[in-house]
Amino acid sequence: MKLDLAQRTETALDGVLVVNKPAGWTSHDVVARARVLLGVAKVGHTGTLDPAATGVLVLCLGKATRIAEYLVNADKEYRAVLRLGVATDTQDATGTVIAEAGGALPDRAAIEAVMGRFVGQHRQVPPMYSAVKIQGVPLYKSARAGRTVDRPARDFTVRSLQILSVTPTPPTLDVTFDVVCSKGTYVRTLCADIGEALGVGGHLAGLERLRAGRFCIEDALTLDDLAALAGREAVGTRLHALADVLDGVPVLTLDPRAADGVRHGVAVPAAQVIGMEGQWEAGACVRLQAADGRLLAIGKVPCGSEDLKQAAPGTVIALEKVLV
């Protein structure tokens, strides 16, 4: 007999899984499926993908949900298809056509010239069909009600943009490209803005997330893979431990007294730090670990790495997230 989530015994799965989200599933659908398959109540993700999109969705299980906020800021890499010649109200292929070029479309040289201008830091107005909240209401709910809401532009950065192919699809033109961009970039809005800059309109016709931070599509599990692993109780073989996930964050090693204090929510006296790895500025987040290497918490340091070595008496590292 198959047991539902409420009937199953929760397993001790704390870490990150990388899933290849299929088309037609919302990110929430994938989270809900993982909860049922794994019997883990605490499951979250580090960046929504639209239902039509596929690719890397990073799931945080158990205690890893506490560190999700430290993963969402990572750059993302996408493979996208920009369809030039047609604009839609949702800026993607799910929407209603609102404009068609009706004339000649640009050649590759013109496309490359315009798209090259989008590399760097820019400002972008979030699309109406998005989960951004204005006065507590998600924009997509306002859009579905036929309302357009004023929303402020946001900074975003395109690190790189590479055109892979330009394919005529009369009366449109498909441009397949790879883009590496910062958190908060809407690729469909990028496509719509490129189409507008070219004077012919455009929308996102396809999107696959290839990478989110250090997690790549090559390492991602399909939902069938995940179900098979769960059936063999072998999910742990593909689980990324918290310490590994945070391997880019500086480390402070604590003496036994401070380590015990962390378990009880006590801030760490700088004098009880017995080892340091990495460099940081004042106010940065660091990993706090025991002498045996066990990850204890995320802390926030009041001074830079060099100053901490000679910190004044009474200096403490505040606790941000306790993980034990």
Catalytic amino acids?
50
- Tally the residues of the chain: 324
- Collapsing DSSP to helix, strand or coil, 269 comes out as strand
Looking up tokens 């068609």 gives: 100
Looking up tokens 């939902």 gives: 223
H or E element: which one contains 116? helix 108-116
Cα(259)–Cα(255) distance, integer angstroms: 6
Terminal C-alpha separation, the chain: 34
DSSP string, 293-318: --EEEEEE-SS-HHHHTTPPTT-EEE
Nearest Cα neighbor of 40 from 8, 66, 18, 67 is 8
CB 40 within 8 A of CB 27: no
Residues pairing with 109 in the sheet: none
221: left (phi over 0), alpha (psi -120 to 50) or beta: beta
Residues 6+ apart with CB under 8 A from 185: 76, 124, 156, 157, 158, 179
Cα(38)–Cα(34) distance, integer angstroms: 6
Q: How distant, in Å, are the alpha carbons of 80, 180, 181 from that of 122?
A: 19, 14, 11
